[in-house]
Each structure stands twice: as C-alpha cells, then as structure tokens.
C-alpha cells in the first residue's frame, strides 16, 4: 500500500480547505512516493506553510516493507509520519490486522469494529485496502463507524484488473453508500493512467435529473478511484444502497435530497488531471477534471485542447 501523487495532492488540497487535526488513522503503514524535495514543492504549490522546514528536516523511510519498485526505484522517500508533521499533525497511527510494520491498532477490518474504535478518528487514509479484501462492504462500514462527526475518509483503490486487485469497486458503489448513509459530502474521482494521467468525476446533475443516469466508466488503461467523504452528525453506517437502475421513487427522492445537500457543500474538488485531456471515450454522466481542479464537460475540453477533432 502507498500514497502516490493523486492521494497526497488530494490530502494537501483538503488540508487547505480545512486543516487536518486530531486522530489520524492510516490503514496500514504507507509508503509515501515523494522525496523531501518533491513534497516541499507540492506543499509550496498549495500555499501550505511548513514553518521553515527544509529537506534535511524531513525523515526518510527506512522501514516500510514491500515497496512497489515499479513506481519508484530511489530510496529517499519520506516516511508517512513526516508528511503529516508537515501538515501540522504531530502523530499518526496505523491500523492493521497484525502488528506488521509496527501498527498501533490491531483489528481485522473484515470483522465489525469493537466499541472502543467507534467515533475515534478525525481522518482515515486508506491507500488501497478495499480492493484487496473479500468483503469490502464490511470494511467501508467500519470506516464510517470509526469516523467522528466531521471526520473525513480519503481512500484510493484499483478500478481495473491491474496489480491483481481482489475486487474492483465502481465509483457509484462509493457515492451511493455515503449518500444512503447521509454523509455531509462525498467526492468520487476516476483516475485514468494516460501519460500524464487524467482525472474524471461523477456529474451529480446526471443523478439529480430523472431523465439522465451515470454510465459505467470503461477504459483500456489502468484506472483507480479516489474518494473523499465527510461524516455528518446524523450520518449512519448500516444502510445498504440500491443500485440506480432498481431504485423506487421513494428511494430516489431520499437519494436526491442528500445529493442536493452534497452538491451545495462548499468544499472544492480535491483531484485534478496532470495534463490536458487524453482519454476521449468518456461515457455519460462524467466530467473531466482539469489541471486547476475545475470540473468541465469532456467533449468541450476535447474540442478546445485538440482542435483536430472539430
């Protein structure tokens, strides 16, 4: 498991919106695929004050096991706690099913969490757990129960059959769960591994309009999902959503009521593309995220950036 550019970029962007604080729980120790120079450059781009920290002040990871060498071959990657220290969080804890790599919280997330873990986390960061377990529904319910009201979940998982995921969860699986359970906000992104990568998001208006729907997002490229969700004071964790094609009129009314609230949330988008649009076969109900975190119609962006397609 690890934190690459998209999830760290989203984490820093979210920190600028509402500073990270309190109990931060990592789902397993995380390799952070940034050198000290790279993480300082990203924080500077987002305008984060690092209080004079230099490259020499940032702790290097000498202990994380089983790094994905295909992503980075250099050894000078920062340790997970160093990233959070730069963001003003003095301590992070890791949760794992064993004491692997020094996890402070030991629990098998495919089993219900004990009472002492409920409402304890202000931020949960998951760098690819849901795609590696047989029962991801139990895991996401556990995440929801662990969060305090106002707590946030940031999770990144595979959405294509690369790197042998156990399951592949479509974007609406995430959004529908958090809508059904009355979360304050949920933003879902699809990352397509073009070079550089493209990011897309669900068009909420396509779900709010009874005449429209959200199609499956299909690509020959490696894909991943990036999800940010915020728990509200009245949020639940146990409600199971119904897929859009099988919802009753009452189900849709409840769904759209929560979705309207989410759409009105002031939180900015937290994912972006690294370059211009390069993936063109975008199915209905999705928007392209440009380099400035702006969601836009993909066809409009294709015609703007690739005039040869006009």
Query: Strands across the sheet with 121-126, in order?
Result: 105-106, 92-96, 24-27, 121-126, 147-158, 223-230, 185-192, 198-202, 286-289, 295-296
Q: Which fold has domain 2-309?
A: Rossmann fold (3.40.50)
Q: What are phi and psi of 116, to 5 degrees?
A: -70, -15
CB 34 within 8 A of CB 83: yes
DSSP 261: H
- Residue 143's H or E segment, with its range, is helix 136-146
User: Please, which pLDDT band fits residue 1 given cuts at 50, 70 and 90?
Assistant: low
Q: How far is CA 137 from CA 2, 132, 143, 167, in A?
A: 21, 12, 10, 11
Q: How far apart are CA 92 and CA 112, in angstroms?
A: 22
pTM of the model: 0.95
- Residue 187's H or E segment, with its range, is strand 185-192
Q: Which two tokens stand for residue 19?
A: 């500073």
Q: Determine how many CB atoms are found less than 10 A away from the CB of residue 179.
A: 24
User: Please, which pLDDT band fits residue 85 given cuts at 50, 70 and 90?
Assistant: very high
Q: Give residue 89's pLDDT.
A: 95
CB 153 within 8 A of CB 229: yes
DSSP, collapsed to helix, strand or coil, labels residue 126 as strand
The predicted-structure confidence for 188-222, as pLDDT tens digits, reads as follows 999 999 999 999 999 999 999 999 999 999 999 99
Query: 88-102, 138-152, 189-203, 240-254 — which is least confidently predicted?
Result: 88-102
């Amino acid at each position: 498991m690890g934190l690459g550019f998209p999830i760290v970029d989203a984490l820093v962007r979210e920190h600028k919106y509402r500073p990270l604080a309190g109990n931060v729980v990592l789902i397993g120790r995380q390799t952070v695929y940034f050198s000290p120079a790279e993480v300082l450059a990203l924080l500077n781009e987002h305008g984060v004050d690092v209080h004079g920290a230099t490259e020499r002040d940032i702790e290097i990871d000498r202990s994380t096991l089983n790094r994905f060498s295909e992503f980075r071959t250099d050894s000078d990657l920062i340790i997970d706690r160093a990233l959070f220290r730069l963001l003003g969080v003095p301590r992070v804890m890791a949760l794992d099913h064993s004491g692997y790599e020094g996890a402070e919280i030991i629990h098998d997330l495919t089993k219900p969490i004990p009472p002492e873990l409920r409402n304890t986390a202000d931020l949960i960061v998951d760098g690819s757990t849901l795609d590696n377990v047989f029962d991801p529904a139990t895991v996401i319910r556990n995440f929801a129960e662990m969060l305090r009201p106002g707590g946030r979940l940031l999770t990144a998982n595979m959405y294509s059959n690369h790197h042998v995921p156990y399951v592949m969860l479509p974007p609406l699986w995430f959004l529908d769960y958090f809508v059904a359970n009355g979360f304050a906000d949920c933003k879902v992104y699809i990352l397509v591994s073009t070079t550089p990568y493209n990011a897309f998001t669900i068009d909420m208006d396509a779900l709010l309009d009874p005449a429209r729907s959200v199609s499956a997002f299909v690509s020959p490229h490696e894909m991943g999902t990036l999800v940010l969700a915020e728990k509200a004071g009245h949020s639940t964790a146990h409600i199971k959503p119904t897929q859009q094609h099988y919802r009753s009129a009452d189900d849709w009314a409840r769904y759209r009521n929560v979705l309207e609230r989410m759409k009105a949330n002031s939180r900015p988008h937290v994912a972006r593309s690294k370059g211009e649009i390069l993936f063109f076969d975008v199915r209905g109900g999705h928007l392209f995220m440009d380099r400035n975190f702006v969601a836009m119609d993909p066809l409009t962006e294709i015609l703007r950036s690739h005039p040869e397609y006009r």
